[in-house]
Structure 1
Amino acid sequence: MTNYTQEYDDLYGSKYLTANDLHGQQPRREIGKVDLVELKDKDGSTKKKFLAYLKGEDKALVLNKTNATKLAALFGKDRSKWVGVTVELYAEMTPLGKEGVRLRPLPTAAKPGDDMNDAITF
């Protein structure tokens, strides 16, 4: 059976991840890569933004200031430190009056070799 909504969104939707792409779900995804790119605004000007490529998603997420600030607060301003972080995605009404994608960084278990060789002193 054809999913006409998905077909329509694939043809006419945004090339970046939007609230519609979440389909009411709150998926968890790992950040695979973060690039700095220049994107055009509706008025033709350009702005630099971070794009997060999420494992399991076909579209990249444009990191608005809210989402980038959440990542920077927990993992630092070096975007390379955001790679490997697991986030939960959800839709939320923005101050601009439209639904946007928000992310919630999730705690991660320590990986072998992650500064776990500290000496214990008594």
Structure 2
Amino acid sequence: MDMTAPRRPNPAHGDCSKVSQILARVGDKWTVLVVMMLGGGPKRFNEIRRSIEGISQQMLTRTLRGLERDGMVTRTIYPTIPPQVEYELTPLGRSLLEPVMALGSWAQAHIPSIDAARAEFDRRKAG
């Protein structure tokens, strides 16, 4: 048995549900965009919201709370009036940047192929 080979997930294994939960969090479109935004450094809530087209206040709150719960984001409250709140990636969150950026680059590079495949699929289904 090769001890250097990565362990393949076994769907019958208890860790599989944990992996699924983590993948659901990090694979969510809002999580990807928030992580990318925070990759440039700490940001305030409204700064993040203005930068991510289409995200509602409620969805951004939910996404940031989930990332904070999973240890990927820290929330710092500054004692000003009104209180200023900043969000920042933790080292764990920063480790997610590389795969998120790679996935984003892959998507960007394959937009024409995916658009063509969708158009062909829709053409076949319509005819």
Q: State the TM-score, normalizing by the size of structure 1.
A: 0.25
Higher strand proportion: 1
In our comparison, the structure showing a higher alpha carbon Rg is 2
Q: State the TM-score, normalizing by the size of structure 2.
A: 0.25
The higher relative CO (CA closer than 8 Å, separation ≥ 6) is in: 1
